[in-house]
Structure 1
Amino acid sequence: MQKDDILRNIGNHLSSIYLLKDQYEIMKEILIMLSKITDCDYLSIFLLKNNPRKDLYEFFPLENRFQVRKSDINLHSEIITEVLTKKTHLLLKEKDKIKLKEGAGNASEILIIPGSLLQDVQGLIFVEKGLFSQEEISILSSLSSIIAFIILNSRHYKNLSDLVTQLRISYEISSSLIQEMNPDRLIERIFKEIRTHFGYDIIGVFILKDDGTLSLEYTVEENSIFKGFKLGLGEGIIGYVARTGESYYAPDVRKDKYYIEGVKGILSEFAIPLKIKDKVIGVLDINSRKEDDFPDSTRKLLSSLAALITISFENARLFEETKRLSKIDMLTGVLNRRTIEIEIERWIKRAKEEKKGLTIFFLDLDHFKEFNDRFGHQKGDEALKIFSDNLKKTIKEGVCGRYGGDEFICLFYDTEKEEILRIGNELIKRIEKNKKLKGITLSIGISSFPEDGKTMDELIRVADKRCYDAKRFGGNRLRE
C-alpha cells in the first residue's frame, strides 16, 4: 500500500479517536492505529504535559494487550534530551537500548518519535521491532503532528466539556486535511469545510514569497479574478499579520486603519498567520459581508484550524519532497536505478507510438577501483559526486541515472547522431581534464532504439557490451 493510501486509511480511523473523551481510550486507540502500520513488537506513549504520575501507555500487539504503568523514563537522559531538542525521530540500535531503560526489551531497534505540534512536543512515542524500513519510519514520523494534535485535544476533552462541539467541527475539517496530500486539492477542501461549517465564502490564502511580497495563491472560484494579487509586507491587514506574526480581527473594516478594499461589500475580516517554527509562511484571510461576524469562539477555532492548515501545508510539502527523493540517488543527485528503468520503459513506449529514435549511454568510470583503493571510499564518493555534477552540466536535454556502483545510464530522445557523439566526447574530455578525479577516465557504450533492440533489456545489454569493449581498448573513449 502506498504512503498516501495508508494516511487516508488512518484519517478515516481517526474519527473514533476524536469522538472519545476518556484519555485512556484515546491512547489505546492511537497505539492500536500505529500497530496497524508496522509489524512491531511493542508500542508506548509517554505524555509530557499534565502527567504527574509519569504514566506510560503500552500496547503489546502480539498479545493484543494494553496497559498503563508508572514509567522510569529519565527525561534528562542524553537520548531523550536529543529527541526533545531536535524535535525529530531517533532510531536506537541494540547497543543503545540499555541507555533508555524502557520498552519491551526484546526487539533489535527502538524508534522514538516526538509528538510535536508546531515545535511544541506533547508526548513521546516508542515503537520496537526487529528492523524498521525507511518507509515505516517515514510514515510514523509523518503522523507525529497528528498524534500530537490528538493528545492536545484529549486534554481539552478532559478539562472543557463545551469544547466538544468545537472539536467535532475541528475534526471534520482536520480529517479532510489529513486525508489529502495534494496542496491544491487540500486548499479546495479547506475552503469547502469553512464555508460549510461557518458560512464564510470570501476566503483566501496568501503565501509569503522570497521577495518579501504576499501573493494570493488560493481563493474561492468566484473571486479567482483576484488570484495573484500582491501586497507588501506590512501592507493592509494581511501584510500587518505577516509582519507581526499575530492574528488580527477587524469587526468593522470601514473604521479599520489597516484595511485595504478588495472584494466589494466586506464589513468584517479575520486574518491568521500560518507559521512554521515561528516563521510566517503565509496568511489565512477570511472575510464576511456582516459586521462583527467573527465571535470569540469562532476566532479561537479558526486559529486552531490555521495551525492545522500550516501542518498540512508542511506535510504536503514533505510528502512531495519524499516522493521526489524516492526517485533520486542520494549520493549523486541523479535518478536511482529503479527510476531510470521506469524512464527507459516509458521512453521506449513513447518512441514506438511516435515512431522516433531513442539513444542510451551506458557509462562506466575507468580506474575507479584503483582510485578507491588508493584514496579510500570517502574520496571515492566525492569522485562520484564530481562526475555526476559534470554529467548534469554536459547533458542538459537527456535524463541520467545511477545504475549501480560507478555505472550510469543516460537517455536521449529523438536526438541526431552527430549531437549524441558530440555530447559523449565532450563528457569524456571533461572527466579526463578534471584534476580532482586524479586519473579517473570514462568509457561510454551507445545503443539505439530500434536498431539495437526494442526492449529495455536488449538496449542496456548492447550498450553495456560496447562500454566493455571501450574499456578493453584502454577506456577514455566511446563505442557505438
Structure 2
Amino acid sequence: MADNIIKDSDRAKEHAKHLQDAMKTFFQFEIGFEETLKVSLKDVLEDVDVDAVFVYLYDEPTDSLECVQARVREKGVVAGESRIPITHNADDLISLVFLGKKDYEIWGDGFQVCVALRSEEGNIGVLIADKLTTRTKITLEEKELLTDYAHQFNRGIRYIKIFQANRRKIEMLLALAKISEAMATAMELEPVLAIILKNVVQILGFDRAKLYLIDNENKLLRGRLSADIRSEAVRPIANEQYPLQKGVNRVVDSLLEENPDGSRAESGTKKLLLYVPLAGKKTKIGMLVVDNVFSRQPITDEDIDNLNILANQAAVSIEKTRLYEEVKELSIRDSLTGLYVHGYFLDRLEQEVEKSSHDKGRFSLLIVDIDGFKKYNDRYGHQTGDKILKILSDILKQNIRSFGSKGRPTDAIGRYGGDEFVIMLTSIPREPAQVVAKRLQDVVRHQRVVVDNRETTFTVSIGIALFPEDGADQVSLFKKADEALYWAKQHGKDQICMVKDIGKKG
C-alpha cells in the first residue's frame, strides 16, 4: 500500500509539472495561438495515456465547433472532424457537453471522451481525446487529468483572446518597457538621446523625429539629434538653436505654452505633426517633434498616448544622465581651475596613445610651467598665486582650441600639479604645436594681474614632446616633455623647447 501511495504521489507531481509547462506555454503569447495549442497538447499526450487529442473552439458565425488544433501519437489514427455543428439533439453528446448540459461524456465503447471548455464569459469549446489506436478504454483517472487540462486551457485561451484583442497595445507597452530598460542602463546623455530617437521612429512608427533640449544658461532651445525612416542612423542637429522667446517659431511657442505636460498636434495638418514637451520633475527640459510627412498617415490618439509615455520615460532618463555627468564632471575637474585633474588627464593620454598607435597617428604633449611662481606666493600671498593659476587656466581654455586644434573635442587640458599644466593636442604634429605654444606665451605676456591696485605680469615656459617620435608610451612621452620643459627653464625662462632641440640652446 505504501508503494501505491508513493507511486500516486510521484504521478501527481509529474502531472503537476506537465500542467505547469502547459500554462507557461499559454503565456508565451508571441509564438502565436496555434503554436501555443500545439505545444500544450503535446504535454497532454505525454501526461495522459491517450492516442489523440483535439481542441474545438466555438465559431459563432457558423454556430459550430471548429477544430483548431490536434495532436496524435506517431502512426496513430486521427478521428476528429474539422467542424461539428451545434445541435440541441439529446443524442448529440458533444453539443450537450459544449452547451453545459454535461461536464463531460465518454462514448464510442469507452474509447473517446469529451470535456467542456468554459470561461467566466461563457462556453469556449470542447477538448476531445481518444484511444482508438490502442483500443483501450478511457479511465476515470484519465478523464480527471483531461479535466484538469481543460480548466487550464480555459484560462489560457481566455488570456490569449484578451492578448489578441489588445495585441497592438500590449506589444507597444512591452516595447516601451524595453526602451525604458535600455535608457535606464545608459549612463551618458548621447546614447540615451539616440535610443529615444531611434525608437520613436522604429517602434512607435513615426516618419521623422527631432529632439531639442533647453540650455538654461544661454536661454536657448538647442537641437540635439534627429532620425527618420529613410535611415537607421541618427543625425546631429546642433545648427538648430532658438532663443526661448515667444514668436520665434512653432517649436519654441509649443514649449512655452502654459500647459506643462500637454502634447499638441499642429492644426491644419490633418494631425501629421506633433509637439511633445519633455517635462522633468520641476520644469520642462526639452521638446520632441514628430511627423508623418512621408507616409501622410494621420497621427492617432493612441500614437499620442504612446509618445507621451515614451516622453515621460525619456525626461526621467535625461535628467538622470545629466545628474550622473555633472557628478562625474566634478570628480574629474580641479576645483580651482576647472581643468582636468592629474589622474583623469593621464587616462585621456593613455587612450590617445592606444588610439594613435592603432591608427598610426601623431599628437603633441605640452607641459606649461609658470616662471617664478613661488615669488608671487611669497610676495603677494597665496590668494594672488591662486588668482594667477585661475587666469592661466582661463587663457588655456579660451585659446587652445582656436590655436590649431579647430575645436576638436578630443584635445585635453589638465592641471598636473602646483603651477604646472599639461595640454594634449590630438592630430597636431611638432611644428604646429610650437606655433600654439608661442601664441599662448604671447597672450600670457600681455595679461595684466592687478594686486593691491598695482599691475604685474607673469610668463610661462613650455616643453613639447611628439608621439611617437619622442615617446611611444605615456610614461616615456611625459618624461621627454618634462625634460624639454626643464631645459627651457634652465635657459632663460619664458622659453619653448621641443625634445629635438634639447642640447642645442646655449
TM-score, length-normalised on structure 1? Answer: 0.48
Structure having greater relative contact order (Cα 8 Å, sep ≥ 6)? 1
| Structure number with larger C-alpha Rg | 2
